[in-house]
Amino acid sequence: MKKYAIAGLLVWMPLAITIWVLLWLLGLMDGVFMWLLTLSQAVLPAGLDSLIEQLRHVPGLGVLVMLVLMLLTGVFVTNIFGQWWVRQWDALMGRIPIVKSIYSSVKQVSDTLFSSNGNAFREAVLVQYPHAGSWTIAFVTGKPSGEVARHLQSEHVSLYVPTTPNPTSGFFLMMPRTSVRPLSMSVDEALKYIISMGVVAPPASASARPEGADPNPVG
């Protein structure tokens, strides 16, 4: 019975977690839509209250509106006027105390992770962490720069060491380039390996570096 129960759990668990994540995302978008409707009630004429209340009960409308809004926003900010508007908005947010620290930090991280020319997670590598003789997988995010780089005597690389099984939290390290061992597995394969706690190993073809490849391509 235990064997069959575990086998059934392994079938349903990925589906259940996938549905849970999708429902969370849909609920988040629907919540933002409801907040926009509440805000509109405060600025629109009172005669439109009944229409706004009807919109609250239309299933799926919040998700559809938010998707269209994100699409239109993307179209807007990709032209010259939209880019100017975004710069003005960033400048405004940068003048607000407390808000500017949070907004600028989140914006820098999101721009690095999601922009088409970002350098985040460019390569999976093997490093000794948290002590010598203990190895883990990390991701190269770039090289130290500015004041930090001036204090480092040798060439270093910036690394992100994710935690298991939740890779969204982790540790930021700066290690000598000579202490990093490049891996031939892709970033996606490395993430699966980390999330599964080593159970889902990359295919053998990705584990062997092609003959003649650079043994240390980091950076």
CA distance 184 to 40: 52
Res 32: pLDDT? 86
Query: Do the beta carbons of residue 41 and residue 49 sit within 8 Å?
Result: yes
Q: Which of the pair, 46 or 181, is modelled with greater confidence?
A: 181
Q: How many other C-beta atoms can be found within 10 angstroms of the C-beta atom of residue 59?
A: 7
**Mean per-residue pLDDT for 188-200?**
84
Nearest CA-CA partner of 127 in 175, 167, 59, 193: 175
Q: Which of the pair, 190 or 49, is modelled with greater confidence?
A: 190
Domains in the chain, ordered, with CATH?
2-114 (no CATH), 123-207 (2.30.30)
Average pLDDT, the chain: 81
Q: What is the gyration radius of the CA atoms in the chain, in angstroms? A: 24
Task: Locate all alpha helices (DSSP H) within the chain, ordered by sequence.
Answer: 2-43, 49-56, 61-77, 80-93, 99-114, 146-151, 187-195, 204-207
Confidence at 210, pLDDT banded by 50, 70, 90: very low
Res 142: pLDDT? 84
Instruction: Dump pLDDT digits (tens) for 15-37.
Output: 888 888 888 888 888 888 888 88
Q: Is the pLDDT of residue 218 over 60?
A: no
Query: Do the beta carbons of residue 128 and residue 138 sit within 8 Å?
Result: no
Q: Is the pLDDT of residue 208 over 70?
A: no
Nearest CA-CA partner of 184 in 165, 169, 204: 204
Of the listed ranges 76-80, 179-183, 197-201, the least confidently predicted one is 197-201
Res 215: pLDDT? 44
Instruction: Dump pLDDT digits (tens) for 118-158.
Output: 556 778 999 999 888 899 999 998 888 888 888 888 889 99
Instruction: Dump pLDDT digits (tens) for 76-109.
Output: 888 888 888 888 888 888 888 888 888 887 777 6
Res 126: pLDDT? 93
Q: Is the pLDDT of residue 213 over 50?
A: no
